[in-house]
Each structure stands twice: as C-alpha cells, then as structure tokens.
Structure 1
Amino acid sequence: MALEVVPAHDFDDVATMFAPRNPESSVCWCLSWRLSSTENRALTGTQRAEAMRELCARPLAPGVLAHLDGEVAGWAGIAPRAELHPFATSRKIPHIDDLPVWSLWCLRVRPGFRKRGITAALIGGAVDYARVSGAPAVESYPVDNAGQHVDLTMAFVGTRAMFERAGFTKAADTTSVSGGFPRILMRRMLDLSSPSEKSGA
C-alpha cells in the first residue's frame, strides 16, 4: 500500500474530492471557511470551482491531498488562519496569542478509503506542509466528543482524540458547537529548525 500526502496544486485531483455531479450546483469546495458570509453567498455554481482552481495555482496550496496507490483518497484544508475569514474574525473561537498560526479546519476521506489510515496521514501531511511553509504552529478546532459517535456530515472538523494522537494539545475552550458537541482549540507547536517529519498511516 503506497500512501502519500502532497500539496493540493492539482485542481483535477481536488475536483475528485469536491466536484458535484451537476457542475452548476453550489457545493462548498472547502471555500466557506475562506470567505466572508457575503462573499460565500455571492459565489455560486461554477464560480466556486474556478475560485478553487485559482487557489490551486498559487504557490501556497489551499490544502493537501492523500493518494493511496495513486488514487485520490482524502483532503485536508490547511492555511494561515489570517486567510480564513470566519476563523480570523470569529468571536466563538479565540485568538490565544499573536502567533501567525495556521489552521487545519477540514478533513475529508472518500468513501471506500475509510479506516485505512488516511485521516492520520492527512493530519501529518498538513502539519508537515505548514512547517516547511514557515508556520510556527498549527491549530485545529475539533469536537470534544468523549468517544461518542460523530455524524459523518459534521465529521470534517475532526475529534479531540485524533488530534491528540497527532501531537496536538488542548489550548483553549471555544463557544462553538458542531453536531451537538463542543469544539475546542487544539494546537501543535512546530520546530522550524528540525527536518520535516514524515507523515505516516
């Protein structure tokens, strides 16, 4: 089993994760956390795909993609928090200091690839990408579900346990809720002087 995580510069691979059957449908394309509510409402249909295409073409990728045996298996949204309007301006998720942190806000695994180590690889690969891009720390905002089942529609935020396994620790409470569970702010500090760690399964 060959599992690798790479920066998401290939728009066609990103489309494998997000493109709707009807190109005119206004699906998320993982843009909702990048835009203000006004911008998000205004961007519809194929405009959303084109916005993601532009993000993929930038030097800084909009996230990372997992490939398993050459097939697109999963996605993680990772970017400087300052680029993510809802997080940058949130009153529910606090800024605990002035560090220019990156946020890991979305984890998605394609059906058929679940329970194969993809999520852990995505988190590791996203952290690695943030590190080599100069991030001093990565934050996540998962649910603190105490082992209870999280509905798949809200599972993209991740759980406390999966981020603890990846070396994150709780840094603050939030007043945000997802799927009926409280969300917490977790952080992993990055040693920019050390070689990038290899993301594993």
Structure 2
Amino acid sequence: MTVEELSKKTWNDFETVLGANGGARGCWCMHWRLSIAEWTEGKGEGNKKAMSRLAQRKPVPGVIVYDDGAPVAWCSLGPRSAFPRLERSPLLSSVDDEPVCALACVFVHKKHRGSGLLPGILEAVCAYAASEGYSTAEGYPVEPPEGKRAGSDTAMTGIASAFLKAGFSEVARPRKDRPIMRRQLT
C-alpha cells in the first residue's frame, strides 16, 4: 500500500473514497475540525469546500491510501491541536502531554470494508507519519460488541482490533467501547 497527501492532484481520489455523501452524513472529514454548530451548518457542500481549502495548505489534512494504485481509504491526521473538537472532547481527552500524530479519521471505501485491509492501511499511514517526523501515532477506534459491525458513522475512527494488528497498544479506555491507542514510530 502507498499513501499520497491530499492535494488538488489527489482530490478526485478523496471524493472516490468518501463517496457522494462525503463520508458519513456530509462530513467530508470536518467532524473533528469544527464545532458541532459549524459542522451542521456546513453539512455537505460547505464541509466539502472547507476540506478543499485545507487540501491546499501545509501541513496537509490527511492522506489517501492506495492498494495496487486504487484509492481504498482516507486518513485525516496531524497534531491533536489540528482537531479542536477532539481537543475539547471529554470522552477522548488527551492522555498526557506527549506530542502525537492524531489519526482522527480512518475512512475505508465502502467496497473495501470488512476485507481485512485496515491493518495494512494503518501500517502505510504510520510509515507516512514517521516520514513526517512524528514519533507517536494515536488513534481513537471503536470496539464494537462481539459479532457486531460498526456503522460507517461510528467506524470512521477505525476498529480497535485492526489497530492492535497494526502494532498499536491501548493507553486508555474512557468508555467500554472506546479505547485510545498508540504506536511508537521509527
């Protein structure tokens, strides 16, 4: 798997991964970047335009993950401070003062969900984060009950079992179904 930064050049691949709805409910991966009022007001086209503006800046707001050249996933990443709503979240509050690369969203294209690609996607994203100078990656996956699948609007942060397979360890569990996981990068 390979990754490419979100840019004008890769925008069509981003749209392919997120689909016509922009991920779950018109999000366009702005959920953690805006207040709930701002996110709701921009739902759909407004959020899409906001992400398009971010895609033209440095640092990039995330990466597209490719499997054999085909776009299969999107990962929104950066320092926790790039995600104000994550910073304010009582559920996912900062564990400590260690600077981390927050993997705020790991959205897999619908035709690839449940295919076992997520650990490889996380590996590729971690390699990218390490190349950008991060020493620690932090994720906020869900852990659905045994035998159940998470919906795309709750699984947008990833699935805990895939994070474990990709070398992450649990560092906190603020709720039964919501671990905070980290991986040291080389």
TM-score w.r.t. structure 1 length? 0.78
Gapped runs of 5+ residues in structure 1?
Answer: 176-180, 192-201
- Percent of paired sites with the same residue: 29
Give the RMSD, CA atoms, in angstroms.
Answer: 2.3
Structure 1 residues 63, 36: CA separation in 2 closer, same or farther (over 3 Å shift)?
A: same
Aligned length: 181
- Cα pair 1:76 1:106 within 8 Å, conserved: yes
1:90-109 equivalences in 2 (<5 Å): 90-109=89-108
Structure 2 residue aligned with 1:8 = 6
Structure 1 residue aligned with 2:49 = 50
User: Per-residue CA shift, 1:22-73, capped at 9, x if unaligned?
Assistant: x9xx711011111122321232442222211112112222222122333222
Letter in 2 for 1:167: G
Structure 2 residue aligned with 1:83 = 82
Gapped runs of 5+ residues in structure 2?
Answer: none
User: Per-residue CA shift, 1:115-151, capped at 9, x if unaligned?
Assistant: 5553223211221222222223111112234643223
Letter in 2 for 1:140: G
- Cα pair 1:5 1:121 within 8 Å, conserved: no
Structure 1 position 157, deviation (Å)? 2.5
Which deviates more, 107-116 or 46-55?
107-116
Structure 1 residue aligned with 2:32 = 33
Structure 2 residue aligned with 1:166 = 166
Structure 1 residues 97, 111: CA separation in 2 closer, same or farther (over 3 Å shift)?
A: closer
Structure 1 residues 101, 117: CA separation in 2 closer, same or farther (over 3 Å shift)?
A: same
Letter in 1 for 2:13: D
Alpha-carbon separation, structure 2, partners of 1:110 and 1:41: 23
Alpha-carbon separation, structure 1, partners of 2:105 and 2:79: 13
Letter in 2 for 1:158: G
User: Per-residue CA shift, 1:164-190, capped at 9, x if unaligned?
Assistant: 111110101114xxxxx6201111122
Larger radius of gyration between Structure 1 and Structure 2:
1
Which deviates more, 96-105 or 161-170?
96-105
Structure 2 residue aligned with 1:194 = none
Structure 2 residue aligned with 1:187 = 182
Alpha-carbon separation, structure 2, partners of 1:47 and 1:15: 14
